[in-house]
Amino acid sequence: MKDWNYKRLLLTGAIACLAPMPVLADNIKGEEVAVLTDAPEVPPPITRKHATKVIVNLETKEVKLRLADGVDYTFWTFGGKVPGKFIRIREGDQVEFHLHNHPSSKLPHNIDLHAVTGQGGGAEGSFTAPGHSSTFSFKALNPGLYVYHCATAPVGMHIANGMYGLILVEPKEGLPKVDREFYVLQSEFYTKGKYGAPGLQPFSMTKAVEEKADYVVFNGSVGSLVGDNAMKAKTGEKVRLFVGNGGPNLVSSFHVIGEIFDKVYVEGGKLVNENVQTTLIPAGGSAIVEFKLDTTGTFILVDHSIFRAFNKGAIGMLKVEGKEDHEVYSGKTKDGIYLPEGGVIQEIGAEAPKQIPAKTLEERLSGGKRIYESSCFACHQSNGQGLPGAFPPLAKSDFLKNKDKAISAVIHGLEGPIKVNGKEYNSVMPAQILSDEDAANVLTYIYSMWGNSKKVVTPADVKAVRAAGKK
């Protein structure tokens, strides 16, 4: 019976392909092939003043890609990456949609576009077996920013494995002109191993059903929008972010640290709110946010359900260069000492999760990088330069010459004045609740970076300093 149902679906699809395409309305002029882009890039604005026939070609493919450093995952994709391609059309366009399922796929896929008025949003007409193609058409009736996703059973599993993207239906009059546009899509992943567990991680249906996400990320992986991958702009420019939430479960509290959204197109529709700090984006929903860049800096994109940002990966960067405006933001103008009563050493975290000991230097560095990016970079910065007058640099740091002293600072904390590279600092280094393995990994990573000595710290080194106690 199962084989007959499958053959019947294939036969139905074959008959549909032979059926004549709908006759185009009289107001449709010409024909074009849609430009599709990978995140964070966006196709150029539509300048034509008329509706046209738009041909969209999109391929589903199952591929193994990076989820985090040292962590791989078999993603199910639209276009070979997560999120899927950004599609840009115009209100009134007649869209001829071709969905191709790569022969290497193990499963059938389809597509439900929230921009489509019709059964299944296109899913009913696009069920496609591996090595086959399906074609359907729709008219873009409603302007807005819409999510699309796979809707093949089990629907949640197809979405959880990466099958989602955004389609923009520009209004007939177009969107207001801005200087830069970017594509950002949040989603979560559920893996058999915990966050950061190395190797090829399989999908966990149990965690997905219980909505216990191991990863919450922008654009498909941890670090996809940080460092060299950060979005870039200049002061004085207006930026528009097309932001989606593929889910499959969690609502996003989207926020850009250090910026205020001048305009938010609420839930990707026509309603505009102004001067917004954080906007909610439901699973399967979107928002368009716009803001002018008034001064320089690195502006951090987060899900303000904040542990998702700093502990599960929902973090990105917009690096803004140009002329600083000290009236808009001065930076620190004075640094004093504040010593209230009571102890100042704090403990961060709880009992560290069990971890497989690193067997090679590469594994130790990989583990250390993950810890640094989740716990250390906010103070010491991604380039190890620290913050002048507040947090000392780790780059070419003379404080690191004494390995036991460096280990003690991590596991016991540090307070009081110190001198690093000839400059005085008097901030607090909270004690990090890390296992001997984790402490060794993060210190080895720090020693390996930014012109430092390449020393290797072992769990035995950490254990010895821990046993000796704070000095």
Does any domain span residue 333?
Answer: no
Clarify whether residues 167 and 190 are in a common domain. no
Last residue in a domain, options 172, 197, 212: 172
Q: Is 127 exposed, middle or buried (0-12, 13-18, 19+ CB in 10 A)?
A: buried
pLDDT digit string (tens) for the chain, length 471 residues = 444 443 444 444 443 444 444 445 558 999 999 999 999 999 999 999 999 999 999 999 999 999 999 999 999 999 999 999 999 999 999 999 999 999 999 999 999 999 999 999 999 999 999 999 999 999 999 999 999 999 999 999 999 999 999 999 999 999 999 999 999 999 999 999 999 999 999 999 999 999 999 999 999 999 999 999 999 999 999 999 999 999 999 999 999 999 999 999 999 999 999 999 999 999 999 999 999 999 999 999 999 999 999 999 999 999 999 999 999 999 888 767 666 665 445 555 444 345 578 889 999 998 889 888 877 877 788 788 887 777 889 999 999 999 999 999 999 988 888 899 988 888 777 788 788 999 999 999 999 999 999 999 999 999 999 998 876
Q: Is 262 exposed, middle or buried (0-12, 13-18, 19+ CB in 10 A)?
A: middle
Clarify whether residues 242 and 140 are in a common domain. no
Clarify whether residues 164 and 183 are in a common domain. no
Q: Is 150 within any annotated ligand binding site?
A: yes
Does any domain span residue 265?
Answer: yes
φ/ψ region of 238 (left if φ > 0, alpha if ψ in -120 to 50, else beta) reads beta
Q: Is 304 within any annotated ligand binding site?
A: yes
Clarify whether residues 410 and 459 are in a common domain. yes
Q: Is 158 within any annotated ligand binding site?
A: yes
Last residue in a domain, options 298, 319, 340: 319
Does any domain span residue 471?
Answer: no
Does any domain span residue 103?
Answer: yes
**Residue 131 sits in a domain of what CATH number?**
2.60.40.420
Clarify whether residues 198 and 147 are in a common domain. no
Q: Is 132 within any annotated ligand binding site?
A: no
Residue 364: which residues within 8 A CB-CB, separation 6 or more?
358, 440, 441, 444, 445, 456
Clarify whether residues 310 and 220 are in a common domain. yes
Q: Is 50 within any annotated ligand binding site?
A: no
**Residue 441 sits in a domain of what CATH number?**
1.10.760.10
Please report where in the chains the tokens 């009289």 appear, as a residue. 26
Does any domain span residue 71?
Answer: yes
DSSP single-letter state for residue 52: -
Domain with 403, as residue range(s), is 359-466
Last residue in a domain, options 122, 148, 172: 172
Contact 300, 317 (CB under 8 A): yes
Clarify whether residues 190 and 310 are in a common domain. yes
Domain count, the chain: 3
Clarify whether residues 449 and 418 are in a common domain. yes
Clarify whether residues 86 and 164 are in a common domain. yes
